[in-house]
């Protein structure tokens, strides 16, 4: 599969000039008309591995080609600071002057599968510009470091029994202002795992439901969220193509409130939620989250508009994590599409390589062992790591990420992906970081539409 590319450039603004001006690293800005008040030079730091496809064999040397340009012209003599080494691990910083023909950086090699990353930065008129590239070394052979608990299946079977004790108690409210000529849009909620409190209030999950107005039965898509605390508007594109869609939040709060509420929660009560109760597998924050994704499916399949057969789950980052987990735990799911999944092989850092978001096992900034690298917390992660759910996938999956992802490192994602024995496809947009470019979105939505028989 040919990888997609995302080309980045940045601009720097200079005060109005009427004659050639020299900046701090010696390059000239051409004359501009006397009426011009400012001018923007497109500054770009390009870092590219010396091999097409950015992928190498074990032991094969890697080189990175670095160029710094303004308006397409090489900034010869620019001071370039670079780092190169295994992704996400500390590396020595070096500074050199950029040769007229560009800079070649020796990246070394790896004798075990993994990734080597090179980043380069320059400062132009007080503004910092950065480029990054990542080379894969036999990524298809990366194996996980995370252990597989003997009672993994029993643990989740018991958890699902606990969920089944909670009645659905679904509620939905039409959002007339959000409806279109093709879909009706609702704010919905339903019960999830956990007993009611002393006031009789039980835990609920909230989301945005979009239902096609066209008569007949429809397939359904569960859209699970990336990390954070935010409102949601629903997956309208797939709904307008003919699918019932449900986009949920995971924190048990309505998803149609003013932004200020979510901002306050994300910096207050919910700050650091992926670490809440990490030392106890039975009370860890993600237990309720994982089970609530299954409860969302309970709601979808209960809808009279559902076709009774076609159910798919999708999401990116934490949503990619939840997509894989939901598909592994729920046999009603017929397919999944996961973008740059989080929480993959989080123990990688304990074995001298990159681990997945939320990086709880990474060393501190001063090089000390992570305060979360305790026996109890490490043990809990094994029950929640995507790696152990990936082993259990039985339905087709579509996956997408880039080599330059610095939030969900490719080492961690491949550790999970390589464990999948079900039918799978991987879309690589090599240059992308933790983001999705429009071409990817279109390809993924078309794949989903094909799986569900949509237009």
Q: Please determine, looking at this structure, whether the domain spanning 10-141 carries the CATH number 3.10.129.10.
A: no
- Among residues 227, 224, 221, 215, which one has the least CA distance to residue 274? 227
| Residue tagged 């999708």 (tokens) | 314
Q: Quick check: 32 pLDDT over 50?
A: no
As given in the structure block, the two tokens for residue 243 are 């699918």
Stretch 289-295: mean pLDDT: 99
Residue 117: exposed, middle, or buried by beta-carbon count in 10 A (0-12, 13-18, 19+)?
A: buried
Q: pLDDT grade, residue 437 (50/70/90)? A: very high
As given in the structure block, the two tokens for residue 268 are 């207050």
At 200 the pLDDT is: 63
How far is 99 from 94, CA to CA, in rounded Å? 15
How far is 249 from 384, CA to CA, in rounded Å? 19
As given in the structure block, the two tokens for residue 319 are 């949503």
pLDDT digits (tens, 9 = 90+) for 229-268: 999 999 999 999 999 999 999 999 999 999 999 999 999 9
- Contact residues for 90 (Cβ-Cβ < 8 A; gap 6+): 367
Of 223-232, 361-370, 410-419, 420-429, least confident by mean pLDDT is 361-370
Comma-separated ranges of CATH 3.40.50.1820 domains in the chain: 152-452
Q: What is the mean pLDDT of the chain?
A: 91
Comma-separated ranges of CATH 2.60.40.1930 domains in the chain: 10-141
User: Beta strands 424-428 and 397-401: pairing type?
Assistant: parallel
Judge whether 372 and 380 are in contact, CB under 8 Å: no
- Among residues 56, 169, 49, which one has the least CA distance to residue 118? 49
How far is 332 from 309, CA to CA, in rounded Å? 8
Cβ atoms within 10 Å, residue 226: 18
At 40 the pLDDT is: 55
Q: pLDDT grade, residue 196 (50/70/90)? A: low
At 3 the pLDDT is: 36
pTM beyond 0.75: yes
Q: Give the CATH architecture of domain 152-452.
A: 3-Layer(aba) Sandwich (3.40)
Catalytic residue set: 317, 405, 434
At 23 the pLDDT is: 35
Which has the higher per-residue pLDDT, 40 or 254? 254
- Among residues 129, 127, 137, which one has the least CA distance to residue 49? 137
- Contact residues for 126 (Cβ-Cβ < 8 A; gap 6+): none
How far is 7 from 5, CA to CA, in rounded Å? 6
């Amino acid at each position: 599969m040919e990888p997609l590319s995302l080309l980045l450039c940045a601009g720097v603004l200079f005060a109005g000039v009427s004659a050639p001006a020299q900046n701090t690293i010696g390059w000239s800005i051409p004359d501009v008309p006397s009426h011009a008040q400012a001018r923007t030079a497109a500054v770009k730091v390009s870092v590219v591995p010396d091999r097409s496809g950015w992928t190498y064999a074990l032991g094969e040397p890697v080189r990175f080609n670095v160029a710094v340009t303004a308006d397409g012209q090489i900034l010869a003599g620019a001071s370039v600071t670079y780092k190169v080494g295994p992704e996400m691990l500390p590396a020595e910083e070096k500074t050199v002057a950029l040769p007229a023909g560009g800079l070649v950086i020796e990246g070394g090699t790896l004798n075990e599968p993994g990734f080597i990353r090179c980043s380069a930065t320059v400062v132009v008129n007080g503004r910092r510009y950065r480029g990054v590239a990542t080379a894969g070394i036999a990524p298809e052979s990366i194996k996980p470091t995370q252990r597989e608990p003997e009672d993994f299946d029993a643990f989740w079977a018991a958890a699902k029994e606990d969920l089944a004790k909670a009645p659905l108690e679904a509620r939905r409210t039409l959002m007339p202002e959000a409806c279109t000529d093709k879909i009706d849009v609702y704010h919905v909620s339903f019960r999830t795992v956990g007993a009611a409190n002393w006031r009789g209030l039980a835990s609920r999950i909230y989301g945005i439901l979009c239902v096609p107005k066209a008569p007949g039965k429809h397939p359904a898509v569960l859209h699970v969220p990336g990390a954070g605390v935010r409102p949601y508007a629903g997956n309208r594109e797939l709904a307008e193509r003919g699918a019932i869609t449900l986009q949920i939040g995971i924190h048990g709060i309505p998803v149609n409130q003013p932004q200020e509420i979510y901002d306050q929660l994300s910096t207050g009560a919910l700050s650091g939620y992926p670490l809440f109760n990490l030392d106890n597998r039975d009370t860890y924050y993600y237990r309720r989250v994982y089970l609530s994704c299954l409860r969302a499916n309970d709601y979808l399949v209960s809808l009279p508009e559902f076709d009774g057969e076609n159910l798919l789950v999708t999401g990116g980052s934490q949503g990619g994590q939840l997509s894989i987990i939901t598909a592994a735990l729920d046999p009603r799911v017929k397919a999944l599409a996961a973008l740059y999944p989080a929480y993959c092989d989080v123990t990688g850092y304990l074995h001298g390589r990159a681990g997945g978001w939320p990086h709880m096992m990474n060393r501190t900034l001063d090089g000390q062992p992570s305060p979360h690298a305790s026996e109890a917390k490490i043990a809990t992660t094994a029950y929640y790591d995507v790696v152990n759910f990936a082993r259990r996938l039985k339905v087709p999956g579509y996956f997408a990420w880039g080599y330059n992802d610095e939030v969900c490192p490719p080492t961690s994602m491949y550790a999970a992906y390589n464990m999948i024995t079900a039918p799978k496809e991987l879309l690589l947009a090599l240059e992308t970081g933790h983001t999705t470019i429009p071409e990817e979105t279109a390809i993924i939505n078309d794949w989903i539409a094909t799986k569900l028989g949509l237009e």
